[in-house]
Amino acid sequence: MSKEDYMPTERAVKLMDMYYHSMASTSMEWTYWYTRKYNQEEGELPLVRRAKALACAFEHDTPVIYPGELLVGAKTGYLRGTFPMPWLIQSFFVSKSSELYGKYKEDAMASNAVDAKAKIGMGGGNVTEDQPGIISLAGKFGLRAKEVPVLNKITEFWSGKTVEEIGERHSKWVPEFDVKNNLKRTLTSRADSAYTVPVGRDVVSYYYPLQYGLDGIIAFCEGRAKEVAGNADGDGLTGMDRLYFYESVAILTKGISKWIENYAKEAERRIPLTEAEQQKAEYQQIADICRWVAHHPPRTFREALQLTYFTHLGLQNEEVASGVAPGRLGQVLWPWYEQDIEAGRITEDEVLELLELQRVKFTAIDLFVSSGSNSVLMGNTFNNLCVGGLTRKGLPACNRLEELILEAGKRLPSPQPTLSVLWDERLPEQFVLKCAEVVKTGTGYPAWMNNRVATDFLMQQYGDEGMTVEEARAFSIGGCLETAPGCWKELTLNGKTYEIPVGASNSTSLGVHFISNPKVLMLTLFNGKDLKNDLQILPPHNKTLETYEELWAQYQAYYEYIIEVQRKCCNIQHDIWRKVNIPIWQSTLKPDCLEKGHHAGDMGFRYNATYNIETTGTINMVNSLAALKKLVYEDKKYSLEEMKQALKDNFGYYEPSETEDNNASITEQKRKPDGTKYDQILGDCLAVNKYGNDDDYTNAILYDYEDWICSAARKFESLFGKKMYACQISVSSHGLLGSGCMATPDGRLSETTFADASMSAFPGTDKNGPYALFESATGWDHSQSQNSQMNLKIHPNAIKGDVGTKHLADLAQAYLRRGGFHIQFNVVDNKTLHKAQEAPENYRDLMVRVAGFTQYWVEIGKPIQDEVIARTEYEGV
């Protein structure tokens, strides 16, 4: 096959080039119309008031169609546009210190300290500095200066009414409220998830729009409203609420229908303004498709693809949502694909072009979040499209459409939608090799997820809610790698019945966010005090820590204390959020809200036990415990006080914040003139056995930790009264939280990044090859956690040709067969990465896998870039 056969279509290339030349832009249009209607509806029930405000914003959202598009829809009038939601949180404006801050209190929210530490990439579409007529918000988004008065006025209206402010007012009843804020200020954890990205990391259900159409949903809700009006049906708590829910769904769905119709009108408006006959015909096709799917179930593959995109975009507009995953979209759209192909209504080449255009549209989706959140998300939206997995009966679920989805990802590399394969032994070898072939292109996707491990986790976590093995097979990945429960729905198209997997849960990544494991260890060593900020964060334990067992026990005690503090505040935050910012469109789509008449906040979803406890820096913590155990407690080469003094002095190196360039690269730290006095202890700390080399000493420490954290997480209760679970990923929090942590006993220097993921070795410490790393990572039961994460970097020469493809597939499967949950690959050489740092303008389209997601190199902050470069590069597999 020639190189031309792998090239994307000319149409897709042109649209992608437009994206490359676009900047992340903020519009106030949506925000204005939502606020205006919300204000007008004062006195209305909160649920109905929100539905009317959302519907109004959808109806007034200006439709923009670009020449050459076949798939349409956008968040704003900008190609790469988004908008703020100041009814959620306002403190992100502290990331900008000019026109916007006159109205802010001096005692700003704790998140401001996080924003100040954020490191965001300076290239690509990020608007990192003010420009003529443009101001930079959150270090990323450009807002036209003329819109600043609108933003200020809207901000003033929402002052005191935001989810953040209401949540903080009520969270103050928690005795440890100040502890929660100090944990965030000092980057010990990333608290307050309800204020920043309250939904997402879940899997969309497109079933109801596809099966019934929007008019069908409206008719169903209006009929049910008449049935339930005035009837509690034996439920004295939320039974009466069903009427208001059905009212709200009907109101919002009508607004979304008008929003889609507006695209039909815009396409028709363009026809007489266009000279090219082909473009006129394409505008007419767009108008016909949008007008149909604004009301009716789709008839063709293209109509189904367009309706799923509008459905998806509706979720992105309703809420600040990261990780809204299309799920197993190739299986959901299979009925239309199969019937169109059989009838000759479409060709595979036409389908492939549409899938390439879908990648452009998903990549253009952006989220307005704070600098601190951006530094973790790195601008990614985590729209995870999964392939593979099993059917309800346990047969391979992959199909030809999924092969085309993989091919589109290969021909048009882009961050979104990111791809994951739900790997199972039963998947055909040809399909597995196709997945490996796409990985080889250097996109970082698909990631590989263990189907068996995921279904085992689901049975444990959701068994109390009726989860069965058959239903567990409907799962997909929400966000970067959050195992999300699903269910099977029967869909009928032209008299033929299909069974499709859809999402059936709340967000699967909300709760206690990103606890810094190494930082907790430092707090344990220093009696609950954070030396970097000279702040007593935790109650002093006043123990001498004379034995390793005492150290480990106190670490666990502090950790559980932190979880409990955050859990209580988090439950209040999310309870406030579900009362005043109800996710109506999300509730419309997911089973079983429409059937029950209850929205997400009233536990209308089929599965609600979805709150988690996220951890970061596991491997630095494990390696640090190994160093303490070996050097202090067993060999007694150093006293605990000598070790602590070396840590306080950063092993004789300057802290990055003490230097002019503030360089937090793990490989470029500067030693103080008298720093040589710590050479011996630093050398010994570095020489202690490190995780990732199939070493029993460090492995045992990891397994003790995993057994404890996975069981401890389930002792805590979410606001839904369900047990929580461990979530072990890093996104880019290993950079942000690393910047807030002093030196650690593993030899890591102050303010530098932690090891990425949760099962990856610290860069350069895995010296015995990937299979030794696999052995270290799989000595515990991964199904006890919602996920775990393994990243590897492989030189392209190691997997060249068909033989290399087979080797790569074998490598991934070897890890998964050992019981690993997740593995992903960066196929790139360090020379390229170094060149991209030196001349980023020449590498606009270079992508790398960070930690659960793929992102453009130029839009990643330098500390994370340096960490990716430092990862062990395997030159043979």
Task: Please give the positions annotated as active site.
Answer: 480, 482
Q: What are phi and psi of 850, to 5 degrees?
A: -90, -75
Q: Cβ(538)–Cβ(523) under 8 Å?
A: yes
Query: Which of 275, 185, 839, 181 minimizes the C-alpha distance to 566?
Result: 181
Closest CA to 650 of 636, 635, 664: 664
Label the pairing between strands 486-493 and 496-503.
antiparallel
Q: Which residues contact 123 (CB under 8 A, 6 or more apart)?
A: 840, 841, 844, 856, 858, 859
CB 627 within 8 A of CB 681: no
Half-sphere exposure of 474 (CA within 13 A, CB side): 25
Instruction: Give exposure, 688-713, as e/b (b: 16+ Cβ within 10 Å).
Output: bbbbbbbbeebbebbbebbebbbebb
Q: How far apart are CA 743 and CA 274, in angstroms?
A: 63
Q: How far apart are the first and last CA of the chain?
A: 26
Q: Are 310 and 358 in contact (CB under 8 A)?
A: no
Run of H or E residues at 315: helix 301-318
Helix H or strand E encompassing 726: strand 725-728
The token pair that represents 863 in the structure block? 């500390």
Report the alpha-carbon distance of residue 773 to residue 792 in Å, rounded: 10
Distance of CA 562 to the CA centre of its chain: 23
Query: At 703, which amino acid appears?
Result: Y
Provide the 8-state DSSP code for 388: E
**Measured distance CA(132)–CA(114) in Å, rounded:** 28
Give the C-alpha separation, 509 to 488, whole Å. 22
Residue 411 near residue 7 (C-beta atoms within 8 A): yes
Q: Omega into 591 within 30° of 0, i.e. cis?
A: no
Q: What is the CA radius of gyration of the chain?
A: 26
CA–CA distance, 810 with 170 (Å, rounded to integer): 53
Phi then psi dihedrals of residue 466, to 5 deg: 95, 10
Yes or no: say if 396 and 424 are a contact pair by the CB < 8 Å rule. Answer: yes
User: 71: closest CA among 370, 503, 365?
Assistant: 365
How long, in residues, is the chain?
A: 877
For Cα atoms 690, 694, 696, give the angle at the middle one, nearest 5 degrees: 80
Q: Report the distance separating Cα 560 and Cα 569, nearest Å.
A: 14
Using left for φ > 0, alpha for ψ between -120 and 50, and beta otherwise, residue 419 falls in beta
Distances from the Cα of 435 to the Cαs of 826, 847, 849, in angstroms?
A: 14, 18, 16
Tokens encoding 705: 């930790």
8-state DSSP, 441: I
